[in-house]
Chain A
C-alpha cells in the first residue's frame, strides 16, 4: 500500500522515552522514577506473556460482559435526519463505563508486581468505581482520591465505592475536582510506591501510563472495527468520542488511526462549558498551550505564565485542564479533529438520546452525542457515524435534573 504523502506512523508510538512527537515523556520528581520504571518493565513483560492476555481476555468476557454491542440508533438517526448513527455501548460494560477495561488490566499488573494496595483519582467517579471493583475482584486494598466538589456532584458513585470496600479520600485543595484529586493521588504514591500501584484512569500522566491506558482501552476500537465490518459491511465514515483526559477516545480511535483520514474521520469532543472564556470550559486542545501537568507534556489550559487555569464543565469526568499527550500529537498531525460542545448542547443531547432510544447517557458521553447529532444532519443518509457511548448516566441523574430545571427558569 502506498500513500502519496508521508503520513507519520501513528501506531508505533510512543518512542522508548514515552514521546508522541514533542508530547508525553516523564516529568516527575525523582521519587517516582523508580515506580514508573517498574510499571513500564512489568507491562513489557506482561505483553510478552500469553498468560496475561488470556487472563485479561477472560475477565473482559466473563466479568465485564464484553464484547459490548454496536447498536444502530434508528430513532436518534431519524431525529438527526442524516448519516446513520451507531452507538458503541460501553455503558453496558460492568460498572457502567469503559473505565473497567483499564482498571482490571492495571489491577492484574499490580498483582504481578506483588503490590497489595491500589490508589486512584476520580472525577465522575466511574474510574473510582472501576478501581474499587477491581480491588474487590483481586482482594486488594483501595484508596480513591476525589475532589469534594465531585463528591457532591457524583454522590451515587461515592456510595458505590464505599460499598465496594474502598476508602474515598476527600480532596479539599484547589478547585476540589479531578486535577486536585490527581495531585493528591500522586503525592500519596510518592510515599507509598513500594507497596502501592497508582491506577491512573486516563491516558495522562508520565510514561508509560498514556500508553498502557490506551492499550487497555483499545479493546473498544478493535471490537468496533470488527462490528462495523460485520454490520455495515465497511469501516465507519466518522468516529466520535468525548475527551477529558481522553481514555475512551484513545481506546476507540487507536485501532483506526492508521486508516486514511479521508476514509475514517475521527473527532474528539471537548467540554465547551459555559463559554470560550478562561475558566468557563475544559477544552484543553481547543484553547490550551503546551505545558507539563501531572507528569507529561501536552496541551494544558494555563495562563501566560504557565499556571494551570481554572476549568468548568457540567461533566465531572471532563472537568480537567489537561489532555493525554497522544491526543495532542494526533491533533498536531491532523489525524484527529478536536471540537467542543457547550454544557447546554450536552444537556439537550442527554435528553434527546434518553427519549429517542431509552438509553440514559453519562453527561461526558452526552458531549459526543451532541456533536454527532449536529454532524449527522450535515451528512448524507448512506454515511455511518459511530459514537463511543462511554458510560451510562445513572450517576448523573440528580445533577442532570437540577440542570434541566435550572435551564427552564
Chain B
C-alpha cells in the first residue's frame, strides 16, 4: 500500500485463491447490517432483470490531472478501476468471494512445479473495433506491461514473476509463459487490476478513439476527472451480457452531495458511502451494500529501531490495544477484529492462531522483563488516513489504562508518507486487500519492507517457508507451510493489525446485480451484471 495507491482507491487482490465459499458466506453474514443489505445475487439470476437502461453511477472522482485512459496505468479513485474493469477484460477476474474465474482465458494450467504456464484463450472474443482476440494480443500486453521503459509500476508489480523473454505463442489462441520463480498463484496474478489485455500494437497517447478493449462496454465519451460515458459492447463474449444499454460514471467528490444525488434519484448507485450516512440512505428507501472488505490499517513497529528491537516490547504493544473498541471508535462498527495477520480472505489465512486481546497485566510483565517499564513510547500519527488519529487515541487509552507511558505525536498529513512513514519507529500504514503471497512479498521481501524491517532470523525462516509454499502445488502442504510462517509472524513481527475495514455502497431499490464483494466498491464495478 502506498499513498498514491490509496488515493487511487486501491485495493489489490494479489494472492492465491481465497477463502472457501462457506467461509466467505459466514463473513458476509456478519457483514450484513439490517434487512437493507443487497444480497440478491447476480442480476441474470433475477427473474425481473430486464435489458436496457442507463446506469448512472456517482463516484468520488479525483484530480482531473491524474485521470487517464492508459489501461495499464494508475488513475484516480473509482474511475480508474471502473473504467478499466468495464472497457477492458483480463485473463481472469475476481468473483465476490475473492476466488478467480476465467475471463479471456479458457484455461490456465501449470507444469508440475508451477514454472511454465499454458494459457488457452477463449475463441471468438471481439475487440470493440471488431477484430478478434489472439495470443499475439496477450503477448504484446505482457511485454508492454513488463517493459521498464513504460514505467507501469502497478501493473508490472502484479506479474513480475513472468520472464519477458519466456513468452511463446504456441497457437493462434494459445501461449506459454515461463516464470522467473515457481508461482502457484499465477491465475490470481493475471486477474489483478491493470493487467488488462490490449490489442497488439496499442500505445498512447490514450484517447476515447483508441480505448479499444474486449470489455462489456465501449468508452463513448470522457471528461477527465468529471465523467465517463460507456455504451454496451454488443459483441461482448459472455452470452446475454451486458444487460444495461449504457453507463454514466459521474464524479461527485463530496460524500453528502453523493448521498443527495442518490436520494433525489439523480444517480442510481454511489460508492464510498460514509458510515454516518447509512441510516439516512436507508430511511430514504435506498439500499446499503456492505462489502466485507479486507483493507487494513496496521500500527507498524520498526523491528530494527529501539526499543522495538526487543520481541517482548513488540508483543507488549500488541496486547495494549482494545480491538473491539478500535472497530467501534475508528470505524463506527463497520469492521472486523484483526489478529495481527493479513490476507483475511485468503484460504491460507490461519484462523486457528489464537485471537490476541487486550491484556494489560501480561503487557506490563513483558515490558518489565525487557527492562522498559519506565520508558515513554511515542506513536506518530497523522490525518493522512481518516482512521489513523482515532486509532492512535484508542491505543493511547489502552496504554494509559495499563500505566504505560505513551505520547501521541501528530504529523502533517501532507508529508506523512515522505517524512513519517518509514522513519518513525512506531507509526501507521494503510493497505488495501491483497492475497497472502502478494502481501507477504510486498511487506517483507519487495518494496515496502522498511515499514517493519522484519529481517531477523525468524523473519528469514518465515520467508523461506512462504517461498516453499508458493512453489508447492499441493494445497494441504501449502497451508501447513503458510501457517508455520504466519505463526512466526504473529509471535515476532512488527505489525499490529487491529481490524479489517468494511466498505459501503448504496443503490436505488430499482438496481439489481450489486452484491457485496471482497473488493470494494460496487461489486468490483462489474456493471455487466447490473440491470434495472
A and B are partners in one complex rather than unrelated chains: no
